[in-house]
Amino acid sequence: MALYLIGDVQGCDGALQRLLDEIAFSPSRDRLILLGDVVNRGPASLAVLRRLQALEGAADALLGNHDLHLLAVAAGVRPPHRKDTLDDILSAPDRAALLDWLRQRPLAMSLHGWLLVHAGVLPQWSAAQVLSLAAQVQALLRGPDLADWLHQMYGNQPDRWSDELQGPARWRVIVNALTRLRFCTAEGVMEFATKDSAADAPAGYLPWFDVPGRRCAGTPIAFGHWSTLGPLQRADVLALDTGCVWGGQLSAARLPHTSVADARQVEIIRIPCPQAQTPGGGM
């Protein structure tokens, strides 16, 4: 049995199939965890969702910002973006089942000593706290008042964590950190406008994983979301969004079955991808 983590697919089902062929994936033997943004911008979001749903038990996925956007558009909470490629899902006869499957996905996971998120972790959070906070929002997403919650989910404020936060403000910070974060200050103030590489951090900000003294340091974290970051594989950080939808690569990490203290020991498999969209704009 092998456990694979896969970076942002974003509706590129053909690339996903080629990657699964490359790793000789067997659903009876292996397991996949996709690190969020399974849909949108690529040409075949419906096929990706159907594939993952059919692989239930052998595949799971985190929720990314594009996945949450699909739920919000489907609920009438957000208008479609001009670069969205979600119409095939929204008009599908099995739309309700697919959307229900998606809303059941987690925002964070812990496997074999790894912490898995789509985007980032605030410096004040321990690994255990990340899982606890993610579970709070997951309960809302899976609950009966999904549309009401989605109406309150969007916005950049508050831009930092406090244990005193309650209600929508608390939940919004959790969602923004886990699905949108790239840069923050040493105090954990988040910045969302910059989507460039780590070398282009705004003044006073750092990539979230470079903040000194962050509480998750020492726990290996795998994440996606940041295609302009490029491949990053260091002792406790593994970045797996390598720009599949933009004509980069789709990446998989094969995790060992025992806890690994050094993420540099993880095997990475990458395949080249045809460009599905031109960078610029969007989430």
**Amino acid sitting at position 74:** A
Q: Is 177 domain-assigned?
A: no
pLDDT tens track for 175-191: 999 999 999 999 999 99
What's the mean pLDDT in 63-86? 97
Its pTM surpasses 0.75 = yes
Q: Is 280 domain-assigned?
A: no
**What are the beta bridge partners of residue 251?**
270
Q: Which domain holds residue 60?
A: 3-119+132-152+164-169+223-272
Q: Is 72 domain-assigned?
A: yes
pLDDT at 280 over 70: no
Q: What is the CATH number of the domain that holds 234?
A: 3.60.21.10
Contact between 160 and 177 under an 8 Å Cβ cutoff? The reply is: no
Q: Is 207 domain-assigned?
A: no
What's the mean pLDDT in 3-8? 97
Q: Is 277 domain-assigned?
A: no
Contact between 281 and 83 under an 8 Å Cβ cutoff? The reply is: yes
pLDDT tens track for 234-268: 999 999 999 999 999 999 999 977 666 677 889 99
Q: Is 178 domain-assigned?
A: no
Give 232's pLDDT tier (boundaries 50, 70, 90). Answer: very high
What's the mean pLDDT in 56-68? 96
Q: Is 217 domain-assigned?
A: no
Q: Is 147 domain-assigned?
A: yes
CA distance 192 to 154: 12
Give 76's pLDDT tier (boundaries 50, 70, 90). Answer: very high
- Helix 146-153 and helix 167-180, axial crossing angle in degrees, nearest 10: 70
Residues 6+ apart with CB under 8 A from 193: 202
pLDDT tens track for 121-146: 999 999 999 999 999 999 999 999 99
Give me the helices (H) in 75-221, please.
87-90, 95-103, 127-141, 146-153, 167-180
Token pair 């899976």: residue: 142
What's the mean pLDDT in 206-227? 96
- Predicted local confidence at residue 131, as pLDDT: 98
Supply the mean pLDDT for the chain. Answer: 95
pLDDT at 283 over 60: no
pLDDT at 282 over 70: no
Contact between 252 and 224 under an 8 Å Cβ cutoff? The reply is: no
- Predicted local confidence at residue 265, as pLDDT: 83
pLDDT at 95 over 60: yes
- Predicted local confidence at residue 203, as pLDDT: 96
Q: Considering its fold, how many domains does the chain have in total?
A: 1
